[in-house]
Amino acid sequence: MDVDLRKLRYFVAVAEELHFGRAAARLHIAQPVLSRQIRALEGELRAQLFVRDKRSTSLTEAGRQLLEDARPLLASASALRRRVATADRGTFTVAFMPGITVTDAVGSFSSRHPDVTVELLRTTWADQTEVLHDGRADVSVVRLPVDRRGLSVRPLFGEPRVAVLRADHRLAGKESVLVGDLADEHLLNDPDAVPEWRDVAVELRDGTASRWQEFRSVEEKLEHVAAGRGIAVIPLSTSEYYTRPDVAHVPVEDLPPNEVCVAWVAARRSPLIFEFAELLRSV
């Protein structure tokens, strides 16, 4: 039996809304049509997916299992369509993190493949591998740590990390600092990205840490540093690229280098991917 992806999309909408009316509105279809499609899916799978009464809709155990499996399946199907479309257009997309330049590799690649259009996609900590899984990028130059599941990851280089402080901060102007010198500070990074700080952080020990905020860009994070809301730890190249007078950059001596790698979906066997990865490693 082949599972209809359209019915799966309908199912996920109902499972997320737990309300047939809202799900129908979200899908821009009539509620009776949605109900029929869900009943048809239940018939095909020979399993009840929802328990419905006049007051509520809830998932059965089979429904919960299907929701868990359907989301990555739909994401893979969407990524497949996107990759096929970009291949048809003759494009190759390279994603990269702030502070990283891919100019030399892109130039060499383009000279070898003048019929291929190289597109560039800037990423963040939040989506640097997501762009691979959803098909937006063919390769991604990432900064570790990342979730490596389903990916091939090859090292490129490492670079020192610096603490970014407000210009009038007590540590600004020092030649370097240690992680222990930052123990009293509020870190604007995800603590898991700087485990050495997490191990000594006062705000984590005494439970006064505020909820970590996800930033969409380096510029946004630097605005918070300049406003005195905390400090950040970023790679040296990123700090040099985003220079501004109201923040200071101080090397952190006892932090290991930030590792930069090239990553792609492991199941893909495109010669262009392997060639571009080798170009990155050579330059």
User: Which one-letter amino acid corresponds to residue 181?
Assistant: D
What is the per-residue pLDDT across 129-171, written as a single tens digit (0 to 9) for each? Answer: 999 988 899 999 999 989 999 999 999 999 999 999 999 999 9
Output the pLDDT for position 277: 96
Q: Supply the Cα-derived Rg of the chain in whole angstroms.
A: 24
pLDDT in tens, 246-275: 999 999 999 999 999 999 999 888 999 999
DSSP 137: -
Using left for φ > 0, alpha for ψ between -120 and 50, and beta otherwise, residue 102 falls in: alpha
Mean pLDDT of 170-189: 94
Residues 210-245: tens digit of each pLDDT: 777 778 788 999 999 999 999 999 999 999 989 999
The answer to whether the Cα torsion of 118, 122, 127, 129 is positive or negative is positive
Task: Kindly state the average pLDDT of the residues 98-117.
Answer: 94
Q: What are phi and psi of 219, to 5 degrees?
A: -60, -40
Give the pTM. 0.69
CA 159 to chain centre: 21
Strand partners, 92: 118
Domains in the chain, ordered, with CATH? 5-81 (1.10.10.10), 90-158+259-282 (3.40.190.10), 161-256 (3.40.190.10)
The 10 Å Cβ neighbour count of residue 154 is: 14
pLDDT band for position 63 (cuts 50, 70, 90): very high
Instruction: In whole angstroms, give the CA distance from residue 48 to residue 32.
Output: 18
